[in-house]
């Protein structure tokens, strides 16, 4: 984030042009734009615990930066030693700047797509495993990558527009791109702080939930089917004891595999004994888990997203939809109701 900020600062300095009045500021310009991509890729690898050949050859990710670092230093020496004015220096090395821009843009596309592939591979590999806090946070990485790719496309449009336009737009052609990158910096900063808070809240919620059993309410059966009862009891053990519902990727085939029956038969078992479809049955456990956290006074100020993720939902919207369907009220109104009960 520091290096992205430096890139934005340099871009705005180019536009506002303080270098005309203070030429020595040119000495602070470095190819920082070639650092955020490799650094974010390495961060994603470390965050997701991804192992690959590049982990042992990280240096190669920074080769473009070091190449242009040498070029920049050579240009600075030329300007300082020969006392070349700003305008002359800019026009003299204009082609170098354009080559650097093309390489930076291409490299950013490659690294963003590479990082997205690693995230998707990680999610597929962990699909069958018990719920892990890291999996639920890959969403924000993909959002940042999506914004980054969008800005790269906007940057490419600005570059092509400036190149083919009959008017001399100059730096004005890049204004939307610079505003976009400035917005990205704000978003990354906000997301970083928010993710830290959510992780702290989830740690507390996780400790609270470890020793508890969460039991949803099912309609009683007039007569239970003995042929399917033993399978339903196995399902209940997986839900109540092992808390399989905390896996946000749990689905019908995955649960059926756990107890060695077909998905169709599993669906029949749940319909017979819980009187609901699989998704509602699964969400009933998650909602029961969430209700217990919403009722606890110590978690009154906790973010709804923290509670949703800790209960096994993969998003706040899915949490709200399931909670409303199964309880007839929103999580917020349920929490308010519990608060009034505590105060009375």
Q: Is the pLDDT of residue 135 over 70?
A: no
Q: Is the pLDDT of residue 106 over 50?
A: yes
Do 20 and 164 belong together in one domain? yes
Do 192 and 225 belong together in one domain? no
Query: Taking a C-beta distance cutoff of 8 angstroms, is the pair 41, 111 a contact?
Result: yes
Q: Which domain, by its residues, includes 309?
A: 212-343
Query: Taking a C-beta distance cutoff of 8 angstroms, is the pair 122, 139 a contact?
Result: no
Q: Is the pLDDT of residue 190 over 80?
A: no
CA nearest neighbour of 254 among 120, 128, 123: 128
Residues 261-313 pLDDT 10s = 999 999 999 988 888 899 999 999 999 999 989 988 888 888 898 899 889 89
Do 54 and 179 belong together in one domain? yes
Would you call 111 exposed, middle or buried from its count of C-beta atoms within 10 A (0-12, 13-18, 19+)?
A: buried
Q: What is the pLDDT of residue 131?
A: 45
Q: Is the pLDDT of residue 193 over 70?
A: no
Residues 207-217 pLDDT 10s = 777 777 777 76
Instruction: Identify the CATH number of the domain in which residue 225 sits.
Output: 1.10.10.60
* Average pLDDT of the chain to the nearest whole number: 78
Q: What is the pLDDT of residue 319?
A: 92
Do 142 and 288 belong together in one domain? no
Do 101 and 188 belong together in one domain? yes
Do 244 and 303 belong together in one domain? yes
Do 140 and 155 belong together in one domain? yes
CA distance 44 to 263: 35
Q: What is the pLDDT of residue 320?
A: 93
Boundary of a domain, candidates 208, 230, 262: 208
State how many domains the chain has: 2
pLDDT confidence tier of residue 12, bands split at 50, 70 and 90? low
The alpha carbon torsion through 315, 317, 322, 327 (nearest 10 deg) reads: 120
Do 46 and 13 belong together in one domain? yes
Question: 3-state secondary structure string, 280-308?
Answer: HHHHHHHHHHHHHHHHCHHHCCCCHHHHH
Do 165 and 49 belong together in one domain? yes
Q: What is the pLDDT of residue 41?
A: 85
Q: What is the pLDDT of residue 285?
A: 92
pTM here? 0.55
Do 47 and 108 belong together in one domain? yes
Boundary of a domain, candidates 208, 230, 251: 208
Q: What is the pLDDT of residue 262?
A: 92
Do 168 and 262 belong together in one domain? no
Q: What is the pLDDT of residue 130?
A: 44
Do 271 and 325 belong together in one domain? yes
Residues 194-235 pLDDT 10s = 767 777 787 788 877 777 777 776 655 555 667 788 888 899
Boundary of a domain, candidates 208, 229, 245: 208
Q: What percent of the chain stands above pLDDT 70?
A: 76
């Amino acid at each position: 984030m520091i290096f992205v900020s430096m890139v934005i600062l340099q871009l705005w300095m180019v536009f506002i042009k303080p270098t005309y009045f203070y030429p020595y500021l040119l000495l602070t310009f470095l190819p920082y734009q070639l650092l955020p991509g490799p650094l974010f890729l390495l961060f994603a690898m470390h965050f997701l615990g991804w192992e690959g050949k590049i982990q042992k050859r990280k240096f190669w990710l920074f080769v473009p930066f070091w190449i242009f670092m040498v070029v920049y230093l050579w240009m600075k020496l030329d300007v300082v030693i020969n006392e070349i004015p700003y305008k002359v220096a800019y026009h003299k090395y204009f082609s170098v700047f354009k080559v650097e821009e093309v390489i930076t843009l291409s490299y950013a596309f490659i690294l963003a797509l590479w990082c997205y592939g690693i995230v998707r591979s990680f999610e597929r590999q962990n699909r069958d495993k018990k719920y892990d806090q890291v999996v639920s946070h890959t969403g924000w990485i993909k959002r940042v990558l999506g914004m980054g790719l969008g800005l790269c496309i906007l940057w490419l449009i600005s570059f092509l527009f400036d190149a083919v336009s009959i008017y001399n737009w100059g730096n004005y052609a890049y204004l939307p791109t610079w505003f976009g990158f400035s917005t990205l910096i704000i978003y990354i900063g906000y997301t970083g702080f928010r993710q830290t808070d959510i992780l702290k809240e989830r740690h507390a919620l996780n400790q609270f939930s470890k020793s508890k059993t969460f039991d949803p309410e099912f309609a009683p059966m007039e007569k239970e089917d003995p042929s399917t009862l033993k399978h339903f009891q196995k399902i209940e053990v997986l839900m109540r004891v092992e808390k399989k519902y905390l896996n946000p990727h749990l689905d019908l085939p995955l649960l059926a595999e756990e107890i060695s029956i077909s998905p169709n038969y599993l669906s029949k078992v749940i319909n017979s004994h819980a009187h609901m479809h699989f998704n509602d049955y699964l969400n009933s456990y998650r909602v029961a888990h969430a209700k217990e956290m919403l009722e606890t006074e110590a978690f009154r100020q906790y973010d709804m997203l923290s509670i949703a993720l800790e209960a096994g939902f993969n998003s706040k919207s899915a949490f709200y939809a399931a909670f409303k369907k199964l309880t007839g009220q929103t999580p917020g109104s349920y929490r308010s109701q519990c608060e009034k009960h505590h105060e009375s």
